[in-house]
Structure 1
Amino acid sequence: MNKICVYAICKNELKFVDKWLDNMSEADYIVVLDTGSTDGTYEKLLEDKRVTKVEQKKYETFRFDVARNDSMKLCPDDANILVCTDFDELFNKGWADILRKNWKEDTTRCYYNYAWSHNDAGEPRDMFKYDKMHDRSYQWIFPVHEVLARKEDPLKEISINLQDKILLEHFQDTSKPRKFYFDLLKLACDENPKDSHVRMLLAREYLLKKDIDTGLKEFLEVLKMPDVNAPNKRLVLLNSLLQVAFIYEELKNFDEAIWYCQEFIKEDPTYRDPYFLMGEMYNLMKMYTLSEACVKAGFEYGVHKYDWVERGNTWLGWGNDLLGVAQFKLKKYEEAAKNMRIAVKHEPNDLRVLKNYISCLEMINKYDSESKKDKETK
């Protein structure tokens, strides 16, 4: 019989405890390693009967992989399915029964969907395939942005895919500082100097710190690393090409940005993102016919990958917004209105999108009125 144990690390998560426990209680066991809460989280977990086991461990030098491996050790021996979540994450109702029914005797890992963020309409925005349901043959590696790796023979992984059945949603606590991530990423790079994935994460962190010049330099270095063309680093290559294109767009160097978009498409023509990004730049350059063509190509060739290369709004309203603007400028008002209506649906609080839609409707009404007058005159 399959038994599920949810395991987690936490620090000062008091406001999330009840909702998280309600959601995770579909599992057979819940174990938590508190890493030094001072807001009453640890005491509340000790008192709650839904928690199978909770311990507190304060680290002199904290790193996520060590803490997660320590929390995994708290799982009861008879649990054969281990599920790692954080306190600001919640599954869809019924997730545990779905997992139990689909987990086979030789399964080592399960993939499911993860919504990292949401738009103003409440729709999952950054959604990709996640992999933190596993058996006991895995361990956590890397000080930050840690990942699960098999202890022995990674080629023997036997996975199941439940992306159409299980969704984990993230409701980020933005009040928490992330400044210590930077130091941990530098440590990860020191420990793994030839790993392009780790270097890419450091490059991204520079962008989050608003250091665009260093971020660009780091991403360009990633693209020169020997392992970036390895099959298992495919997403690192694609993400770095796309990120460099976005940076050059922000720097108004559209020629370079378009070149990197084209390089991305040469590597894989089935992502919407580079087509849409080129469409965005052609709109900025007032080259609306080219913009329309690029965005339409993205809609035609794009296949939803559910990976972290895809930008959050690529499969929501971004393409329709871009296409609507281009078609409005090309005086294709009926087509523009259809696309703008979709964009408004996905971003109802974006005043620019709403104003564009209203302007388009006004132009349609104007042409209808003029057409009616012409007919009456004749």
Structure 2
Amino acid sequence: MKIVVYAICKNEAQFVSRWMKSMSEADQIVVLDTGSTDSTVEQLRALGAQVTVETIRPWRFDVARNRSLELVDPDADICVCTDLDEVFHPGWRNALEAAWVPGTTQATYRYTWSFRPDGGEGVVFWYEKIHARHGYRWVHPVHEVLEWVGPGQPGLKVPAEGIQLDHHPDPEKSRAQYLPLLELAVAETPQDDRSVHYLGREYLFRGRWDDCIHTLKQHLAMPSATWADERAASMRFIAQSYEHKGEPEEALYWYLRAVVQAPHLREPLVELALLLYTQQEWDGVLYFTQKALAIRERPRTYICEARAWGALPYDLRCQAYYHTNRPQLALEAARTALALEPQDERLQGNVKLLEEMCEALR
């Protein structure tokens, strides 16, 4: 099979060498540069990429992605869309070829979107930006996704076990363009529940609490908004906005709704426990963290939060045990939390304090 990597970029010279090495298992690497003023283009070409330079005005991610896809040779079998701040683990091609059975048109694979300061994984989900050369196009000005436009129905979407893609972004890169592009996306397709959800989440990121609440309540009222995981996320974001507004009872109501909406997810349970922690409702903290920790498998969707899968549930249990005079149980929880995030100085201090306390009680 002919496998082609394609990408868009602008001023990403710092990532070129690492990215090209990671993508080298492909038969061809095609890049659309949208106006770099650094050495990105020269470096890419020197390392063997086929680079086209064009300006996209007005800027939209879907237009840029579709133009970059047009640059891929028509005889390609599989297209692999990545960004220059992403890195495949070696062996990805073999894993992809093994998964790509006859009739496949799209593959999913494990994606680590963020990392903790100590290097541990943060947000992890399964991505789906590997697809057949023909029959797909990108849609939406931002948070763009693949849409099938070929004849009939798309073929198989297969999990490519063994493929791991890591995201190592530039922390200084601005996301200022996201909000206007999301507002444009909703204006263009107001019936698209996914775009409405993303817009509400962006308002949360910007601290626009009332806009977040209003938009996500709209999302929940949409007939097409039926995916329980995303509905629960909207409820969590509404709850967070009410917390920021100083309305804990409203926050509690929406967290409880989120738990009921998606009882298979850790995130609503952990965030509810965190709210109860602030209210010193220790029995509630223990109950909901226990329910969260009983969920042992991360979802493969993007609806996940790093802290729900890190030290936080155990840290909350440590605090609850400590405040209910159960230091030995607090120590056990503290040690588990520290094992998950061993570089955290506060967690280190918790273990030391509790060890001293338990020793004094003997």
TM range (shorter): over 0.9
Is this contact kept in 1: 2:20–2:47, CA < 8 A? no
TM-aligned CA deviation for residue 333 of structure 1: 1.9
Partner of residue 263, structure 1: 257
Q: Which deviates further from its counterpart, 202-211 or 348-357?
A: 348-357
Residue 287 of structure 2 is aligned to residue 289 of structure 1: no
The residue that corresponds to 1:142 in the other structure is: 140
Question: 1:269-308 counterparts in 2 under 5 A?
Answer: 269-301=263-295, 303-308=297-302
Amino acid at match of 1:342: T
Moved more, 6-15 or 149-158: 149-158
- How much does 1:55 deviate? 0.5
- SS, match of residue 307 in structure 2: coil
Q: Aligned-pair distance for 1:176?
A: 1.7
The share of aligned pairs that are identical, in percent, is 33
Q: 2: distance between equivalents of 1:25 and 1:129?
A: 22
Shift in Å at residue 268 of structure 1?
2.2
* Aligned residue type for 2:247: N
Residues 269, 302 of structure 1: 8 Å contact kept:
no
**What's the CA shift for 1:288?**
0.8
CA distance in 2, matches of 1:344, 1:154: 52
Does residue 201 of structure 2 align to residue 204 of structure 1? Answer: yes
Paired positions, count: 361
Shift of 1:285: 1.3
How big is the shift at 1:155?
Answer: 4.8
Q: Does 1:322 align with 2:322?
A: no
CA contact (8 A) 2:103 2:155 kept: no
Q: CA deviation at 1:153?
A: 6.3
The residue aligned with 2:214 is: 217
Query: Could you state the TM-score of these two structures normalised by the residue count of structure 1?
Result: 0.90
What secondary structure sits across from 1:166 in the alignment? strand
Distance 1:153 1:128, change over 3 A: farther
Rounded Cα–Cα distance in structure 2 between residues aligned with 1:301 and 1:96 = 32
From 59, 63, 66, give the equivalent of 1:62: 59
- The question of whether the paired residues in 2 share the 8 Å contact of 1:238 and 1:309 is answered with no
Equivalent pair of 1:33/1:56 in contact (CA under 8 Å): yes
> Which residue number in structure 2 is paired with residue 334 of structure 1?
328
Q: Report the Cα distance in structure 2 between the residues aligned to 1:3 and 1:335, rounded to whole angstroms.
A: 57
Shift of 1:65: 0.4
* Structure 1 Cα separation of the partners of residues 62 and 192 of structure 2: 17
Give the letter for the 2:12 counterpart. Answer: E
Give the distance between the partners of 2:115 and 2:128, measured in 1 at CA. Answer: 20
Aligned partner of 1:372 in structure 2 is: none
User: What corresponds to 1:29 in structure 2?
Assistant: 28
Question: Does 353-362 or 22-31 show the bigger shift?
Answer: 353-362
Amino acid paired to 1:286: Q
1:375 counterpart residue number: none
- Taking a change above 3 Å as real, the CA distance of residues 38 and 243 of structure 1, as seen in their structure-2 partners, is same
Displacement of 1:134 in angstroms is 0.7
Per the TM alignment, residue 34 of structure 1 is displaced from its structure 2 partner at its CA by 0.4
Give the aligned partner of residue 376 of structure 1. Answer: none
The whole-number CA distance in structure 2 between the counterparts of 1:350 and 1:217 is 37
Output aligned runs, 1:1-378, within 5 Å.
Answer: 2-49=1-48, 51=49, 53-135=50-132, 136-152=134-150, 155-162=153-160, 164-229=161-226, 233-301=227-295, 303-368=297-362
Deviation sequence 1:125-180 (CA, Å, 0-9, x none): 01111100111221100011100111146853411112x41111101112122212
Per the alignment, do residues 246 and 89 of structure 1 end up closer, same or farther by CA in structure 2, a change over 3 Å counting?
A: same
Q: Which amino acid in 2 is paired with 1:3?
A: K
Per-residue CA deviation, residues 177-198 of structure 1 (Å, 9 max, x unaligned), is 2212221111111111111211
Whole-angstrom CA distance in 2 between matches of 1:8 and 1:226: 35
> Please, which runs of 5 or more residues in structure 2 have no aligned partner?
none
Residue identity opposite 1:40 in structure 2: S
3-state DSSP of counterpart to 1:258: helix
- Between the aligned partners of 1:353 and 1:215, the Cα distance in structure 2 is 33
CA contact (8 A) 2:88 2:164 kept: yes
Residues 93-137 of structure 1 show CA distances to partners (whole Å, capped at 9, x for unaligned) of 111111112211211111111111101221110111110011122
Greater mean deviation of Cα atoms: 39-48 or 80-89 = 39-48
TM-score (norm 2): 0.94
In structure 2, the CA distance between the partners of 1:154 and 1:147, relative to structure 1 (3 Å rule), is: farther
Shift, 1:248, TM fit: 2.5
